[in-house]
Amino acid sequence: MSFFDTYDNLDEEVKELLQHYKHKKATGYEPCTLENFKLQLLRLSEEFDLLNINYIFNPYLDIKDNTLEPVALVNLINSVWTLLHYYKNVNEKADRLVELEQNNKQLNAHIKRLKEKISLEKNEAKACVASAQKIADRSDTMLQTLTETRAKLLKVTKQKAASEKNLQNEIARLKLQIEKLSDRLRNKDVSKPCSDFCDTTLMRLKEREKQQRATIAHLQKVNQDLLHQILDLKEDLLLSGLNEVNINK
């Protein structure tokens, strides 16, 4: 009997299974029974082939008296062990993938928190730079004001010293004139009438005294004004120094 005659004598279901096997089409699951175990072995053979497991079932060579030959049984057991090994490997890889996915989620969450922290630190750094720039600008302005105030204080101090010196010189000059006039009066001849001379001299003395008092009052006022300016400048310097200390803190 040729192969073609044998093929033609096969049941339609077996022919369909062989066609599925030829085109590597997946078959549906069906429970195995004593009546259909040959069909199930053919289906297993087809499924094993799809999974690249080396198992071929031939119902005309592997079955005798409705019993599976030992060699065919060994091949089936080895194929089942191979399938089990594949299953374990796939299961382990699936577990690792789940673990990796979980780790990836945690890593992404950690990266997100780091990005938010970096963004916050950048904003804080920008705010610090802006604050430092404002402080630097204020420091420059305060330094310029302090320098100008010190220059004014030095100028006013010099003016005060000059005014005091002029006041002392003017007082000394006026005292000298008074002493000279007194000497002239003492040296006059008392026997001669001096009413006119005395009246004139007294008037001149009173006029000079009035002028001298006015000059002294003016110099004292100038001196007092300079003293007030010095106190105001010293107060400005003190306040500037306190503000500078607060900024440095």
Give me the average pLDDT of each 10-residue run along the chain (249 residues).
51 60 57 85 87 85 88 91 90 88 90 91 88 80 76 77 79 77 67 56 72 77 80 76 59
The pLDDT score that the predictor gives to residue 4 is 46
Q: Is residue 125 situated within a structural domain?
A: no
**Taking the CA of residue 84 as centre, how many other CA atoms within 13 Å lie in the half-sphere pointing to its CB?**
6
Domain boundary among 19, 35, 68: 68
Whether 127 is in a domain gets the answer no
185 in any annotated domain: yes
Nearest to 155 by CA among 144, 167, 165, 163: 163
For residue 50, what pLDDT is reported? 85
Give the per-residue pLDDT at 180: 77
Residue 115 resides in a domain: no
116 falls within a domain:
no
At which of 42, 68, 94 does a domain end?
68
For position 85, what pLDDT does the model report? 92
Q: What are phi and psi of 25, to 5 degrees?
A: -100, 140
Q: For residue 160, is it within any domain? A: yes
Q: What is the pLDDT of residue 27?
A: 55
- Give the pLDDT of residue 230: 80
* 154 and 241 assigned to the same domain: yes
| Contact by Cβ (8 Å): 237, 153 | yes
Among residues 233, 60, 94, 67, which one has the least CA distance to residue 158? 233
Domain that includes residue 220, residue range: 142-248
Cβ pair 18, 38 in contact under 8 A: no
**pLDDT at residue 13, as a whole number:** 57
C-alpha–C-alpha distance, residues 195 and 8, integer Å: 180
pTM higher than 0.75 for the full model?
no
Q: Are the C-beta atoms of 44 and 69 separated by less than 8 Å?
A: no
> Which of 36, 68, 100 delimits the end of a domain?
68
User: Which amino acid is present at 188?
Assistant: K
Distance, in Å, from the CA atom of 221 to the CA atom of 1, rounded to the nearest integer, reads 149
- Structural domain count of the chain: 2
Residue 85 in any domain: the answer is: no
| 242 occurs within a structural domain | yes
| Helical (H) or strand (E) element with 49 | helix 37-50
Q: Which of 76, 50, 54 is nearest to 63 (CA)?
A: 76
